[in-house]
Structure 1
Amino acid sequence: MIKVQNVFFSYSDGDPSIKDITFSIKSGECVVICGKSGSGKSTILRTISGLAPVFYEGELKGKVEIDKQIPAELDSEERAKLFGVVFQDPRSQFFMNSVQDEICFAAENIGLSAHEIRQKLDEIVGFVGIEDLLSKDIDDLSSGQKQKVAIAASLILQPKVLILDEPTSNLDADGVKVLIKIIKKIKDRGISIIISEHRLEPFNEVVNRFLYIDRGMLREVWSKEDFERLDNESLSKLGLRPKTINKSTKNKKSNDLILDIESLSFHYKKTKLGIDDINLKLYKGEVVSLLGNNGAGKTTLCKVISGLLKENGGSIKYRGKVANRNLRNKFCYFVMQDADYQLYSDSVVSEISIGKKITEKFKKDMVDSLDAFSLNELKDRHPASLSGGEKQRVILAAAYCSDADVYILDEPTSGMDGDGLHSIIKWVKLLSEKGKIVVIITHDSLLAAATSDKFLYLEEGKQIKEGKKVLYEYN
């Protein structure tokens, strides 16, 4: 079905991104492409989909065929019928406001009749299991729901190939389980599936092969049995995420109470959703993970703590005194999940320097941050040219160079490879040693287990449990 033979691709402004790539995928097979951030995984997906060199300009050498057709030579309608694509952030591919309109968009675009569209809609909605979402607005959906809508929209024309880019990066544990079930059903239909991913273990149920890419070259091909035999040390040497991780040392926590959150509540006016009666004490040098499924209220709670939202009830005390939103904005640094919202400058170094006084201390922090997040080779690059994981590292490096007392990280390992995960763990430990409070919103049980002193579990906006052990069923 898919044949990639001796493929090289160079973007118009750079050296070859992928070199001499050769592999094939049969109908109904699932292949996962893995490797460090920036290794060329996304470029491989772009050459298969025809986006490179049609949309992403550059020079393509070698042969890419899908069902004996060359993607780059097809028009948009032919490509839409041949393969479906789901991006890492499904929001970036939505055109319509309602779920039903979005799913039908491609079918309407190629001129199918209303009767044909209705038939295809009913069939694909039942297949993916989103009957209850049809009348909803896309903006009101959770990350997992948006991804299911994107998958349904990509399948409505019954393509022969489905391409998924980092599909688990924004999903909770339940969402990952649902995704794997959907992939099984898609395979059973004989559709070939190619996935770029950092979190590999969940796909062992459905994968036929793992392709390991390093510096643009295909270095290893593993069966699922081969992958299962790889230990944590081997995975880490390859820059991949380990299967398990332990917290080596305790964080430098004191009895100095910095933040005292009492009976905190907030509700959005439109949906009435939010948080209720949250109580939490945070001490100097403490690291806490906020856990729970998508939509549980984790990000909302942190937006209130940092002053981005004003509480409806309760209080937040900072060093014993009630702190208003302006004060909270000053002592909190919020690192958003979507790095693009926090990137403004024309180089990595400039991005880290924005709004900061250039002192000797800052210069030292800058050097340390470039080293901690492996950004030295990228320091003169434009942030827009970086991969998702690389962008995330830039934002974290900028946060490292600030003088905040409380650091809030929203899914900091989303889109991160194994090296990135270990860098985040190292950075969190450095902040704790400096006496900083770190609050981590995460579905990543490896990150939570390796960094945190305690864990706060939220469900439907309510605090249901606080403890000192991570419960993996919540991650």
Structure 2
Amino acid sequence: MISLRNVCFQYNETHRLLQHINLKIEEGEFVVLTGPSGSGKTTLSRIINGLIPYFYEGTLSGDVNIKNQDLKDMPIWQISQSIGSVFQDPKAQFFTSIVKDELAFELENYGLDRSFIHHRLDEVCKQMNIVHMKDNLLHTLSSGQKQNVAIAAATTMEPDIYVMDEPSANLDINATDTLKKQLIHLKNRGKTIVIAEHRLYYLMDLADRIMYMKNGRIEQILNPQELMHFSHEKLKNLGLRSPSLTAGYSPRNEEQNPIRDTAVDIRKLFVRHKRKKTPTIKGIDLSLKLGEVCALIGENGVGKTTLARTIAGLTQEKTGEIYVFGQREKARQRLKKVWFVMQDTVYQLFTDSVWNELLLGHERSLENKQQAEQLLKMLELWSLKEQHPATLSGGQKQRLVLAVGLMQNANIFILDEPTSGLDGSNLQRVISVIQKLKQRNCHVLIITHDHELVAGVCQRIIKLEDGKISQNILTASLDCKDMIQIMTKKEAHICRHQ
């Protein structure tokens, strides 16, 4: 189905990113591309689905064949009939504003009969469990819900090949399980599937081969059994995440009820969006302490980001009270005291260099310059101080936004999915940065679906269900199975506080 012979590629004048790739993928085969960030996984997937050279410019050499036809001889419409693509950022592939219109978009472009389109939409919505979202506006969906719609849209034309780039990056464990069921369905129907992924655990009983990439080359070809036997140290050296959902976790030996000052105290909080009749956040009471790292978890769309944005002052509460360091504060006042790091950090960077970003809005005194230098060195960004923020990797941008927050002398940080799409090495870097914030006696609230991040740094799990807190529990009291269960199972009418 897919054949690459001596394929090399480089973007414009940059160094050669892919080097001498030789690869054959048979019909019905399930292949996983993995490896450290920057190893060439996404670029290789873009070559297979035709985005290179049709959309991304650069120098491509070697032979690429799709279904025994040279890619250069295939018009883009023919490629899209044969290959369904799913990007890491679903917004990048949406063309309409309503879910059902997005699903119908490709079918309509091929001029298919209206009755067939309606039938196919109903079929796809049931398969992907998105019937309840069919009439929703895309911009109102959570990141995970958008990803589900993107995957559903890729299946509407029933292509023979699927190419997916980090499809689980924004999904919780339950949604990832839904994705896995859909992949099983596609595999059982004989579809050929290529997935570039850092999260490996859900693919171990699906993958036929795992391609480990580094520095633009395929360095190792493994089967899932071989990868499962890698030691923790070997996985760390390769920059890979664990291929097991439960491996490598041990409860932290921490003081069960340490005495800490309260950073944020939330009382009877209700939040309702303008276009919704019922509140998204329903009567929440919550205390957040200094020197503590909390995970805010729950299924996609339950209100995690809404709660976080309200705490930060970006969203106005309907009723209720929010106290910051003992003072009741309105939304505008909270904006000055709570530092929110968005999932898409590009909206928080404004200047032409890393150095200028830290000093934006500050007097360029010797003291401020020394503080900026200290923060950049602490967050491993000092060598990049002259670079434009747009040229940084996702993980580097996140660390830069954290540094800007520390320049504002913030003590309360909210991070929205800080490890989305990160490999094992960058996951550990994020954990290290969060530990440094904790040591500075900051409170860190993390919106996350990432069980490895929760296991690695969080002291408390706060779980939202239907706009309410259903779990509020210390991780030191949990073993790995307990933690995974809390992150996956619905716990209606249960509320444990410690």
The TM-score with structure 2 as length reference comes to: 0.88
1:346-381, CA deviations, whole angstroms, 9 ceiling, x for partnerless residues?
A: 444444444444455554554555555554665555
Give, in angstroms, the shift of residue 158 of structure 1.
Answer: 2.0
Partner SS for 1:280: strand
Instruction: Give the letter for the 1:111 counterpart.
Output: G
Q: Aligned residue for 2:491? A: none
The answer as to whether partners of 1:100 and 1:134 remain within 8 angstroms in 2 is: yes
- Contact 2:270 2:279 (8 Å CA) reproduced: no
Give ranges in structure 1 of 5+ residues lacking alignment.
none
SS across alignment from 1:439: strand
How many Å separate the matches in 1 of 2:71 and 2:355?
38
Asked whether the equivalents of residues 359 and 369 of structure 2 are also in contact (C-alpha less than 8 Å), the reply is no
Query: Which residue pairs with 1:255 in the alignment?
Result: 260
Partner of 1:55: 55
The match for 2:273 among 268, 272, 291 is 268
Q: Secondary structure at the match of 1:205?
A: coil
Shift of 1:249: 6.9
What residue number does 1:425 align with?
431
Q: CA deviation at 1:191?
A: 1.3
Q: Which residue of the partner structure matches residue 91 of structure 1? A: 91
Asked if 1:452 is matched to 2:458, the reply is yes
Percentage identity across paired residues of the two chains: 38
**Conserved 8 A contact 1:290-1:298:** yes
| Structure 2 match to 1:341 | 347
Amino acid across the alignment from 1:150: A
Q: How does 1:153-164 map to 2 (within 5 A)?
A: 153-164=153-164
Q: CA deviation at 1:434?
A: 0.9
Distance 1:324 1:129, change over 3 A: closer
Deviation at 1:116, TM superposition (A): 4.1
The residue identity in structure 1 corresponding to 2:7 is V
Task: Supply the distance in 2 between the matched residues of 1:254 and 1:358 (Cα, whole angstroms).
Answer: 38
C-alpha contact (below 8 Å) 1:254/1:284 kept by paired residues: no
- Pairing 1:16-415 to 2, within 5 Å after superposition: 16-242=16-242, 243-246=247-250, 250=254, 255-271=260-276, 272-360=278-366, 362-364=368-370, 366-367=372-373, 370=376, 375=381, 379-415=385-421
Q: Deviations over 1:216-255 (max 9, x none)?
A: 1111111010111112111111112244344667599753
* Structure 1 counterpart of 2:496: none
Paired residues of 1:259 and 1:317 also in contact (CA < 8 A):
yes
Moved more, 341-350 or 184-193: 341-350
- Gap change, CA 1:371 and 1:193, over 3 Å in 2: farther
Task: Give the letter aligned to residue 424 of structure 1.
Answer: V
Distance in 1, matches of 2:424 and 2:378, equals 14
CA contact (8 A) 1:307 1:329 kept: yes
Q: Report the Cα distance in structure 2 between the residues aligned to 1:345 and 1:323, rounded to whole angstroms.
A: 30
| 1:303 maps to amino acid | R
The number of equivalent residue pairs is: 475
Does 1:467 pair with 2:473?
yes
Shift of 1:183: 0.3
Aligned in 2, Cα 1:257/1:103: closer, same or farther, shift over 3 Å? closer
The answer for the alignment partner of 2:11 in structure 1 is 11
Moved more, 272-281 or 455-464: 272-281
Deviation at 1:437, TM superposition (A): 1.0
Q: Matches of 1:247 and 1:55 in 2, distance apart?
A: 47
Report deviation, 1:312.
Answer: 1.8
Task: Report the equivalent of 2:495.
Answer: none
AA of the residue aligned to 1:262: R
State TM-score, norm by structure 1. Answer: 0.92
Cα distance in structure 1, aligned partners of 2:251 and 2:360: 34
Report Cα offsets for 1:409-458 as digits up to 9, x if no partner. Answer: 01111111111111111111111111111111111122112212222111
SS in structure 2 of the partner of residue 300 of structure 1: helix
Rounded to whole Å, the distance in 2 between the matches of 1:217 and 1:298 is 39
How big is the shift at 1:269?
A: 2.3
**Offset of residue 390 of structure 1:** 4.7
- Displacement after TM superposition at 1:184 (Å): 0.6
Structure 2: how far apart are the matches of 1:461 and 1:455? 16
Is residue 253–residue 432 contact of structure 1 (8 Å, CA) maintained in 2?
no
**In the alignment, residue 263 of structure 1 is paired with which amino acid?**
K
* One-letter identity of the residue aligned with 2:315: L
Say if 1:107 and 1:157, in contact at 8 Å, map to a contact too.
Answer: yes
Contact 2:236/2:425 (8 A) holds in 1: yes
Give CA deviations for 1:35-62 in whole Å, capped at 9, x if unaligned: 1122211111111112122211110011
CA 296–128 in structure 1, closer or farther in 2 if over 3 Å, else same: closer
Q: Which residue identity is paired with 1:28?
A: G
- Alpha-carbon distance between aligned partners in 2 of 1:303 and 1:166, rounded to the nearest angstrom: 26
Deviation at 1:406, TM superposition (A): 0.3
Structure 2 residue runs without a partner (length 5+):
488-498
SS in 2 for 1:330: coil
**1:440 and 2:483 correspond:** no
- Quickly say closer, same or farther: Cα 1:198–1:393, change in 2 above 3 A: farther
Instruction: Tell me the SS of whatever aligns to 2:239.
Output: coil
Q: How far apart, CA to CA, are the structure 1 residues paired with 2:104 and 2:289?
A: 51
Letter in 1 for 2:90: P
1:45 partner SS: helix
- Runs of 4+ aligned structure 1 residues displaced above 6 Å come to none
Separation in 1, partners of 2:23, 2:385: 34
